[in-house]
Amino acid sequence: MSPKFELTCGDSGFMTNTFLLLLVLTGGLILTANHAHAVDIGFSGFGTVAAGKVTSEADPPVLVDPVSGAEYDNAIRFEPESLIALRAVSEVNDQVTATIQVIGKGAESSDADIEWAYATYRLSAETVFNAGRFRLPLFYYSDFLDAAYAYHWIRPPVDVYSIPASTLTGVNIFNTHYFHNVGLTTQIWYGAEEKEDDEVVADITKSQGINVILDYEWLRLRAVYHTIRISLDVKPILVSSAGGLIQLDPEPSEGKVEYIALGFMADYGSLLWRSEFTHIDSVLNVDTEITGYASLGYMIGRFTPHYTYSFRDASPDTETHTVGVRWDFKQAAALKVEYSNSYQDGRDETPPTGESRTEFISMALDFVF
């Protein structure tokens, strides 16, 4: 696992902010490195040009990025999932590596912001220590979530990959050991994080967990256990009354969140299988949230047709069927087309929102360089 610095920004000033940040951080690494060693810096990147729309004007919008809130409606839109990223990797010496990753997303209109920033110290051939701000390994594709070229879908199943607090400021240790032809990977972490939007400030403390992966030939199994203490401070809101606007100051809430995930992956010849299941229990919510998906694909030359079923057992309940195909038409580039049918049942919500079904199509060009 390599360290990553990620910058998310909107369209304006993206290239300027990107290269300024790269120059400043890379220059700092060079100045602080041991002068007896040359610092090697390599550049790479990835991107996605995507478009999509719901198929009927009567269908409600469909959420495709829970973090940014990006969604497709009944007009063809490119901004929800299109992005470009640039990565600079600096090898300070044989043991210390730092990586800067700059990413601009069409769905985000905010100014440049550093989201990830951490360095890696290699303790041995099997053990790596990371410190800084990094993405939590809550899902199988957590490390490649923005690099869609790494997976067969246009996006991982949104019913499952829908946790906004997926980064952490802290430390983690990553160890891989092989017993004959069985690989065992263990990762543990500890830290804290603060999230803020227009409505709420979330203060996350005692964020800790473990990720265990077993590899055997064409089979991979993984299990994750993660807990946090979270304090939610809802910002004051204005409501209308007979006497005019009144400011309400909701009471803050605090509690523990427990996250458990299991995954089963297989690459057997031309057949690929991906499945993950999660269980989230929080004292802040009355209901326990259970999500999962199963995806089957088959490689036929440069084409990979696939089918995915996903669900979210919470309030509201959702389930989604997706069929698609990936075409690796050239090295380091893939074209993808998908059709999804999503059903939402909000009859048990307070107040009830009823049932709805949304059909949407999307297309994406993913590439790496």
* 276 Cβ neighbours under 8 A, 6+ residues apart: 139, 140, 160, 261, 262, 263, 264, 292, 293
Q: How many CB atoms lie within 10 A of CB 127?
A: 14
pTM (2 decimals)?
Answer: 0.83
For each of the domains in the chain, give its residue range(s) and CATH number, in order of start.
Answer: 5-368 (2.40.160.10)
Q: Give pLDDT tens digits for 119-156.
A: 999 999 999 999 988 889 999 999 999 999 999 999 99
Say what the pLDDT of residue 236 is: 60
Task: Please choose, from the candidates 44, 297, 322, 6, the residue with its C-alpha nearest in 3D space to the C-alpha of residue 151.
Answer: 297
Amino acid, single-letter form, for residue 324? G
Look at phi and psi of residue 198 and say left if phi exceeds 0, alpha if psi is from -120 to 50, else beta: alpha
Residues 6+ apart with CB under 8 A from 329: 302, 335
C-alpha closest to that of 287 among 260, 314, 254 = 314
Amino acid, single-letter form, for residue 215:
D
Lowest-pLDDT choice from 63-67, 114-118, 160-164, 327-331: 114-118
Which range has the top average pLDDT, 245-259, 323-337, 351-365? Answer: 323-337
Distance CA 209, CA 259 (A): 9
The token pair that represents 7 in the structure block? 């910058």
Q: What is the mean pLDDT of residues 333-345?
A: 95
Does residue 198 sit in helix, strand or coil? coil
Range with lowest mean pLDDT among 74-78, 91-95, 100-104:
100-104
Strand runs (DSSP E) across 237-316, as ranges? 237-241, 244-248, 253-268, 271-282, 289-298, 303-313
DSSP for 212-244? EEEEETTEEEEEEEEEEEEEEEEPPEEEEETTE
Strands 182-196 and 167-179: antiparallel
How crowded is residue 69: how many other Cβ atoms within 10 Å of its Cβ?
13
Q: What is the pLDDT of residue 254?
A: 81
Read off the pLDDT of residues 54-64 as tens digits, 9 standing for 90 and up: 997 777 888 88
pLDDT of residue 23: 45
Q: What is the pLDDT of residue 70?
A: 86
Average pLDDT over residues 98-106: 83
Of residues 7 and 171, more confidence is placed in 171
Q: Token match 């360095």: residue?
A: 119
Name every residue whose Cβ is closer than 8 Å to that of residue 294 and which is 6 or more positions away in sequence: 273, 274, 275, 308, 309, 310
Highest mean pLDDT among 10-14, 18-22, 265-269: 265-269
